[in-house]
């Protein structure tokens, strides 16, 4: 593992220890975020499966109503009725926070359910068909919101995993290896200084001993 390009000094050691502590804390927080995202995605996937089953059931019911109405009234009558419908449906988009991520919140507001066509030439199958397709529209909005939320959380999970891997396999090992190198360098310098001082002391003690042993010359 490559070391960081820093001088092996006490100052570098203190700075790297601080950075390593921050990286370790960041790694812990990111792991917690990753676990939270995974749990939330799993929960939403369960909801998505339920929505998908409900959507298929609603879709089946709506198209069954359409076929019954076609069989009783004919396609021309349905086209005439469809051209006279002026429902105003509204889809509002807001944002909310899910597992710390901004996600969409869709609200499908259906128009008035009162039919806007006459009863001549029509029967109850048209009303039922209309209600079934409006219910289908509402659940399609719920599915779109859920799928978009899952996609956004999955994207954030991927980014979080990359950061966890970078800290775990690159940054933290680099800091640790560099600190180990600095500790060894400082220890080597301390030993070198110790032996140097010991040699100087030994030399000074030797000089003092020689001076004491030399006879004093009397003039």
Average pLDDT of the segment spanning 29-57 = 95
Contact (Cβ atoms closer than 8 angstroms) between residue 158 and residue 21? no
Question: Between 136 and 110, where is the model more confident?
Answer: 136
Which CATH number goes with the domain that contains 101?
1.10.287.3240
**Does residue 25 form part of some domain?**
yes
Q: Where does the pLDDT of residue 18 fall: very low under 50, low under 70, confident under 90, or very high at 90 and above?
A: very high
3-state secondary structure of 90: strand
What are 178-194's pLDDT values in tens digits? 999 989 888 877 666 76
Query: How many folded domains does the chain comprise?
Result: 1
Range of the structural domain that residue 22 is part of: 10-176
CA dist 108 and 95 (Å) reads 15
Alpha-carbon distance of 83 to 75, in angstroms, equals 12
pLDDT score, position 194: 66
Strands 101-109 and 90-98: antiparallel
Instruction: Give the Å distances, CA to CA, from 216 to 40, 44, 72, 207, 209.
Output: 94, 100, 140, 16, 14
Q: Is residue 77 part of a domain?
A: yes
pLDDT at 77: 80
Q: Is residue 199 part of a domain?
A: no
Coil, helix or strand at residue 13: helix
Higher pLDDT, 210 or 195: 195
CB 90 within 8 A of CB 109: yes
Q: What value does the mean pLDDT take over residues 69-92?
A: 78
Provide the token pair at 124.
């109850």
198 is a domain residue: no
Domain assignment present for 181: no
Least confident of 73-87, 155-169, 178-192: 73-87
Alpha-carbon Rg for the chain, nearest whole angstrom, is 39
- High-pLDDT (> 90) share of the chain, %: 42
Instruction: With cut-offs at 50, 70 and 90, classify the pLDDT of residue 1.
Output: low
Task: Check if the beta carbon of residue 190 is closer than 8 Å to that of residue 9.
Answer: no
- Residue 197 included in any domain: no
Q: What is the pLDDT of residues 47-56, one digit of tens each?
A: 999 999 999 9
> pLDDT at residue 120 above 60?
no
Percent of the chain predicted with pLDDT > 70:
81
Query: Mean pLDDT score of the chain, rounded to an integer?
Result: 84
Check if the beta carbon of residue 63 is closer than 8 Å to that of residue 162: no
CA distances from 65 to 50, 56, 61, 164, 188 (A): 23, 14, 6, 52, 87
Residue with tokens 């939403």: 44
Count of Cβ atoms closer than 10 Å to residue 126 Cβ: 23
For residue 37, being part of any structural domain is answered with yes
Which carries the bigger pLDDT value, residue 125 or residue 205? 125
Examine residue 210 and state whether it is found in any structural domain, yes or no: no
Q: Phi/psi at 51 (nearest 5 deg)?
A: -65, -40
pLDDT at 216: 54
């Amino acid at each position: 593992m490559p070391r960081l390009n820093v001088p092996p000094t006490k100052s570098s050691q203190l700075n790297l220890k601080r950075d390593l502590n921050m990286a370790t804390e960041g790694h812990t927080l990111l792991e917690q975020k990753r676990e939270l995202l995974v749990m939330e995605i799993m929960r939403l996937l369960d909801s998505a499966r339920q929505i998908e089953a409900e959507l298929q059931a609603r879709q089946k019911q709506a198209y069954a109503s359409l076929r019954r109405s076609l069989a009783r009234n004919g396609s021309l009558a349905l086209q005439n009725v469809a051209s006279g419908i002026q429902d105003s449906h509204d889809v509002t988009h807001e944002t909310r926070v899910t597992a710390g991520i901004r996600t969409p919140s869709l609200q499908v507001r259906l128009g008035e359910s009162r039919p806007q066509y006459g009863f001549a030439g029509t029967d109850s199958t048209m009303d039922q068909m209309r209600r079934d397709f409006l219910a289908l529209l509402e659940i399609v909005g719920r599915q779109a919101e859920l799928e978009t939320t899952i996609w956004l959380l999955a994207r954030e999970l991927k980014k979080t995993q990359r950061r966890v891997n970078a800290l775990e396999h690159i940054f933290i090992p680099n800091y640790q290896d560099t600190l180990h190198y600095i500790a060894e360098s400082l220890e080597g310098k301390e030993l070198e200084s110790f032996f140097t001082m010991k040699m100087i002391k030994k030399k000074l003690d030797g000089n003092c001993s020689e001076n004491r042993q030399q006879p004093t010359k009397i003039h």
